[in-house]
Amino acid sequence: MTSPLFLAVLAVGPMGQVAEAAPAGVNVTVTVAAPAQPKPISPYIYGSNQEIGIPNDLTFLRQGGNRMTAYNWENNASNAGNDWHHQSDDYLGGGDTPGEVVRKFVQPVLARGQTAIVTIPMAGFVAADKGPDGDVNKTPDYLNKRFRKSVAAKSKVSDKPFAYPPDLSDEYVFQDEMIHWLEGTFPATTRKGQIWYSLDNEPDIWDGTHARIRQQKLTYKELIDRTIEYSSAIKAEVPNATVLGLVSYGYGGFSTLNGAADGKGRYFVDVFLTEMAKAEKSAGKRLVDVLDLHWYPETKGGGKRITEEKVLTPALVTARVQAPRHLYDPNFREDSWIDKDALRGPIYLLPTIQEKIAKNYPGTKLSFTEYNYGGCNDMSGAIAEADALGAFGHYGVFAAALWPLDEGSAFTAAAFLAYRNYDGKGAKFGDQSLETTSSDIASVSAWASTDSTGKLTMVLINRSLSEAKVALTGQPLAGHGSAELFRLMGTTPKLVPAGTADTTQPLTLPAMSVTVLAAK
């Protein structure tokens, strides 16, 4: 964790560079305004792939990752891919009860009234067994002996009805049969929460992560064809299902499908959306509801990537707390191959992708079911997380799920609570976003909301290494002279009451802090 002594030697200079010493202080004006059109904040941006110690304050959880690509629901076997020697085993648990890995995940999520994302394998093969240990390629003819063929729809190869338990004697595993069983186990009419379906995990890098079942890179055409095939099977079984597609690993995937042979200079997300729009016309119904991307920033500080480096340095901390600006700031430049080589300019991710959706397939929702800015157990990580969550809400992201990179993730969890339970009694950020501008975005960012009661809530982020004097202005503040404050800072990963403030007077934000302002 970052110590106060360490922070004292850091400072944010122009363009996110590290200066020798902290300035005496910064003066910032934050202006709040009502948008021309209502801007709802989706409740589903507050999700995770693990509970991170705050299960009741999350809105959904996802069962994803590389293990799910070759998960066999009939016997709960899975293959680790290159995460662990391409080994097939019982790592996911579940015993021999068909679907138990999925059932054990879904049951508590639905019981809390939350949404569960279930991953549907679509690479074509799933693990047949749980051993022996080691690379499956040690077995001669391993693809036929150590795997089973995975099929989207049972009707394509069999005239038998769905069954539970499934037939283990055939050579197939049917994904729609699993969905039929799952929906029957948790009927939509009685469950408290929802079940969504994700089309596999990061298919754009299967040739690396799952090289035993996929040796060649996917082409644009092949991934689009598979997407149509599997989403059609899901919708045939659950017509009103929410289906998340593409599930790309990162920028190289959603721009070029990681260098697919048939790319021919076309931006893959553009092609994907256009083809999904055509597929809807052909099928007479929407097949993919959500464009799903993963986002692990390539941002570097001092030559180290912010999501990978554990040793805190001034350059790394500065790069991390500034990095979320690439989501929304059209002028922000960073040290990453995306900025320097691919785009040769600002990333400006959220408005850019939303523009592509509006142009190529209006009505498609946007999600990031894996993302992380690093520093999960450090204040710099909390600052980045709080800024990212604010941006997701304001720029119309439908769903987002943190992928924890560090055990505990205490500071990241505390940043979530700034939006989900800042007073420890269930108080939340609002569900309608207000417009905010900061006169010094490199030092202070702000996100503001209101709700049906007219309550104004703000999250104020001081990412600089000196305290900031912030003047709050704007019509939505009228009539809200007094506000309660809650704050996260220092080395304790906890939001604590920080007194009250007169919003008509400058507000002092401590260095490297996240402050919730709840207007009365």
Catalytic residue numbers, as ranges: 202
Q: Please, are residues 168 and 74 in contact by the beta-carbon 8 Å criterion?
A: yes
Q: Please, are residues 411 and 375 in contact by the beta-carbon 8 Å criterion?
A: yes
In the chain, how long is the greatest CA-to-CA distance? 76
- According to DSSP, residue 339 is labeled I
Q: Is beta strand 60-63 parallel, antiparallel or unpaired with respect to 115-120?
A: parallel
Distance separating alpha carbons of residues 242 and 234, to the nearest angstrom: 9
Residue 463 in tokens: 């990412």
Distance separating alpha carbons of residues 231 and 443, to the nearest angstrom: 44
Alpha-carbon torsion (130, 136, 141, 147), positive or negative: positive
Q: What is the Cα Rg of the chain in Å?
A: 24
* CA neighbor of 33 nearest in space, from 384, 317, 434: 434
Q: Please, are residues 86 and 136 in contact by the beta-carbon 8 Å criterion?
A: yes
Distances (CA, A) of 496 to 158, 167, 421, 499, 514: 60, 55, 11, 9, 11
Q: Please, are residues 401 and 61 in contact by the beta-carbon 8 Å criterion?
A: yes
- According to DSSP, residue 40 is labeled B
Location of structure tokens 């940043």: 415
Q: Please, are residues 245 and 227 in contact by the beta-carbon 8 Å criterion?
A: yes
Cis previous bond, 314, omega within 30: no
Instruction: Classify residue 139 by burial, with Cβ atoms within 10 Å: 0-12, 13-18, 19+.
Output: middle
Distances (CA, A) of 25 to 206, 469, 491: 49, 8, 21
Task: Estimate to the nearest angstrom the gap between the alpha carbon of 2 and the chain centroid.
Answer: 25
Task: Estimate to the nearest angstrom the gap between the alpha carbon of 510 and the chain centroid.
Answer: 29
Distance separating alpha carbons of residues 347 and 339, to the nearest angstrom: 6
Q: Which helix (H) or strand (E) holds 107?
A: helix 100-111
Tell me, what amino acid is at 195? I
Distance separating alpha carbons of residues 218 and 247, to the nearest angstrom: 14
Q: Please, are residues 314 and 10 in contact by the beta-carbon 8 Å criterion?
A: yes
Q: Please, are residues 111 and 187 in contact by the beta-carbon 8 Å criterion?
A: no
- According to DSSP, residue 57 is labeled G
